[in-house]
Structure 1
């Protein structure tokens, strides 16, 4: 028998379902003036396309991204010249704009490049799958434990100077595992699996920990969403078992472009965020980097993790709709899209309108032919002719002192 003493029920005996996303507890990792993890808002990242040797082009590209909300920007450093160019890029950003948290993508096991670039950026990203010390042979069927450990020792020896440099400078590292580039011994030992991805990351984490370095962010990206989901979930399970609390960088790699690229990224990133997993995200599109940022913020806003735009609630339209809903929604959005933080509902009729828009700050509802009912929360404020609907909505927002000029 259900009673009010049951903590899973509300006062009216309906189930008390928790609608809040409870994020996994992670340690804070500082990247420039931005903190990843530690309960801070989920951080948005992207990567410039420009050749890092193009100082002015790179500075302009970083600035474009930062100005539209990209909080951490990644650059590629395939050579020592590229690494040294980052010193000029960082200086020019500070002189002409402002400091921007920068991450360097170090290719292969180029430690000289990594040590140089570590002087000039806030975080270095390494891919464990590119630390290759074995020569592939066509007739190999396994790695013995001795061979596995010997290569692990070489990795540690190679990685140690970079870890010490980042540790001593108070900078960060991303251990970025990619499903498509697992090292051969991981493939032989664990297969082309999420387990192989996780064990690859753990090997590098343990090297860092042995050197008293904990400013680590982990990513386990794959181009297939189910693989990506399984890898991150397994990583969380293994970290929980080992008492680790490293923040996670989420992404679906090589997601493509257009609508499908956005849906694919959202399916992977959004699913994990809804489970409380993830502290920073990047949507990887085969488009201009600037196109990635709105997708990131849309995912975060949809989940209630960050509020960076107006939240519009609108019904899908049906035979009861009393005006051109698509046209009116467009007009309302164009007039109010700069009012960050507001929830505005545009509903076609009175049947579902007040109920489905109950959480909105303002409502615009077709209540009778030719007239619009304007609501503040659940309260109907006034009815106005349809052709004055948007104007009167603006006036209502102004009356409440919540309007700002675009």
Structure 2
């Protein structure tokens, strides 16, 4: 794989009704209904809204045989109205349901974590190799008849692994790891290959973007070792709503798309399903703009490990680099120095707008918390000025440079000046590739100066800024290269405060700096047992001021306790209008009436000392 130059991974072609994917076909966009699958009219109307928004596949939850059989009526109604978009049945826990669904849907999603294995209970099980082999044989005995039905009906399948629903069997042998998620998938893929069934798509998802990206990278590596090239469905589960859902999805999905991985995507928002489609479309279109970009000549650093990355080793300069949290530098190139208390940048880049006694030809960066006085003011050079002014007495200096600006003279200067923080710039079509090239050049040269990425845009819509900047930063964060971000939107269309909030949101979505409460909330489906959107709004209204908490808000138990296993508190649908509350993985209170559940959640948080007014 070339880490610096974009090209799409070549995947097998898979035929899903009249809309194939993989190969040279476009990256497909999809969503999932949140209506009850037995309500034919509601499902059809919502499917039409998804399709008219640009959705190319429509998935429906399929809890039981009745729901699977009703797909026939939903499918027929859509076709009668002129809609040919393929339908995907989403099946958990019951192989019989998958077999029926394969008769009426163009694709069936199954979950290896609960297709044959019992629902996850977090119990530690012990298997001998012989016992483990018998469990694999159980999978074969149930899975092969399903594949035969799919062959007869030309039905595609998706093997969809979720971090939140790994089986106790996999967990016991591999732990809660990317390796366990990959093996859960590979067990089923090997049977597909053995049975010469190649109409298969794979997804491997998590709400934690770091786990999601690293696991997909590892899966692709493992498939290559076993001569497989199945297409990939990408998504971040339980991404949430609003700006959090957009940033988190764009960061995780974008990190993989920018490396050429992914043949279909679903942006999972806790909003109306059709609202997901424009976000997904913007993300795909933005990434694909780098196709055919000018070649970036670069050499991979030997210590870089794509599937198991670690943070690049740097020296600490003030509060930048070393083991410290990545910083946020905010551009203030006008007289607007207002900052938010919650999303206060660490530094302000003021360009040449500081008062007298400063050189007029260089820029300045100031400490945002105590910016008056020369001891809180640091020069910002370009690479030519660095060589001329390397004797400058400041204890911290900032060098703005592109990859091509990092010449031998500059690197020689950096060797003598570890107090220089590098601010990487790029106007390349593939800015990720050029930023990576710069970081790898530093590693190859043994230079340990901290690295901040200057991401420059000119957007008029906040959503566009969120999607593009998160996609551009995703792989840099996952790769362990980010010591800070300078996010700047040229023009006055988006406020500085909103740009700052986006920068902090990106760092939080990448799990490298927390600045607010994180909500792990599912997008909802026909299994959802309460009004998801209004509940999320109520929980956010009561807890948004809390810093550093993770709260899971899950419609049902399919991924509930598992996907929010690293959440501090969980709110999970237990029955129609009934809620169970969790602290970590432990269920604290069951079957609370929905109208009391949000207040009970707040009481639980308060009882554990995690609530502040």
Separation in 2, partners of 1:240, 1:46? 29
Q: String of CA shifts for 1:132-170, please: whole Å, max 9, x gaps.
A: 446989985532111111111011101111111112222
Q: Does the CA contact (< 8 Å) of 2:68 and 2:97 recur in 1?
A: yes
The TM-score with structure 2 as length reference comes to: 0.47
1:86 correspondence with 2:71: yes
1:231 correspondence with 2:215: yes
2:174 to 179, 190, 193: 190
Separation in 1, partners of 2:120, 2:460? 59
1:272 to 243, 253, 256: 256
User: Cα distance, 1:296 vs. partner?
Assistant: 0.3
User: Cα distance, 1:112 vs. partner?
Assistant: 2.2
Separation in 1, partners of 2:110, 2:96? 13
Separation in 2, partners of 1:246, 1:31? 14
1:32 to 17, 35, 40: 17
Separation in 1, partners of 2:64, 2:125? 35
3-state SS of the aligned residue for 1:131?
A: coil
The residue correspondences of 1:1-400 to structure 2 (distance < 5 A) are 21-108=6-93, 110-133=94-117, 140=124, 142-304=126-288, 319=334
Give the RMSD, CA atoms, in angstroms. Answer: 2.8
Unaligned 5+ segments in structure 2 are: 292-330, 336-458, 465-488, 493-613
Q: Does the CA contact (< 8 Å) of 1:256 and 1:286 recur in 2?
A: yes
User: Cα distance, 1:225 vs. partner?
Assistant: 0.4
3-state SS of the aligned residue for 1:129?
A: coil
Separation in 2, partners of 1:130, 1:347? 49
Change (3 A) 1:18 1:138: closer
Q: Does the CA contact (< 8 Å) of 1:134 and 1:151 recur in 2?
A: no
User: Cα distance, 1:100 vs. partner?
Assistant: 1.6
3-state SS of the aligned residue for 1:114?
A: helix
Q: String of CA shifts for 1:13-62, please: whole Å, max 9, x gaps.
A: xxxx9986201110010111111110211100100011111111111111
Separation in 2, partners of 1:136, 1:221? 16
Separation in 2, partners of 1:298, 1:220? 22
Bigger mean CA offset, 240-249 vs 164-173:
164-173
Change (3 A) 1:175 1:52: same
The TM-score with structure 1 as length reference comes to: 0.70
Change (3 A) 1:122 1:225: same
Q: Does the CA contact (< 8 Å) of 1:41 and 1:306 recur in 2?
A: no
Separation in 2, partners of 1:48, 1:305? 30
Q: Does the CA contact (< 8 Å) of 1:317 and 1:348 recur in 2?
A: no
Separation in 2, partners of 1:52, 1:239? 34
Separation in 1, partners of 2:155, 2:289? 26
Q: Does the CA contact (< 8 Å) of 2:64 and 2:97 recur in 1?
A: yes
User: Cα distance, 1:329 vs. partner?
Assistant: 5.7
Q: Does the CA contact (< 8 Å) of 2:121 and 2:168 recur in 1?
A: no
Change (3 A) 1:151 1:304: same
Separation in 2, partners of 1:18, 1:129? 32
Q: String of CA shifts for 1:80-129, please: whole Å, max 9, x gaps.
A: 11111111111111112322211000121x22221111111100000000
3-state SS of the aligned residue for 1:31?
A: coil
Q: String of CA shifts for 1:324-355, please: whole Å, max 9, x gaps.
A: xxxx968xx9xxxxxxxxxxxx9869xxxxxx
Separation in 1, partners of 2:120, 2:212? 26
Q: String of CA shifts for 1:208-260, please: whole Å, max 9, x gaps.
A: 12211011101110010000011000001001111100000000001111101
Unaligned 5+ segments in structure 1 are: 1-16, 308-315, 321-327, 334-345, 350-406
User: Cα distance, 1:303 vs. partner?
Assistant: 1.1
3-state SS of the aligned residue for 1:34?
A: coil
3-state SS of the aligned residue for 2:201?
A: strand
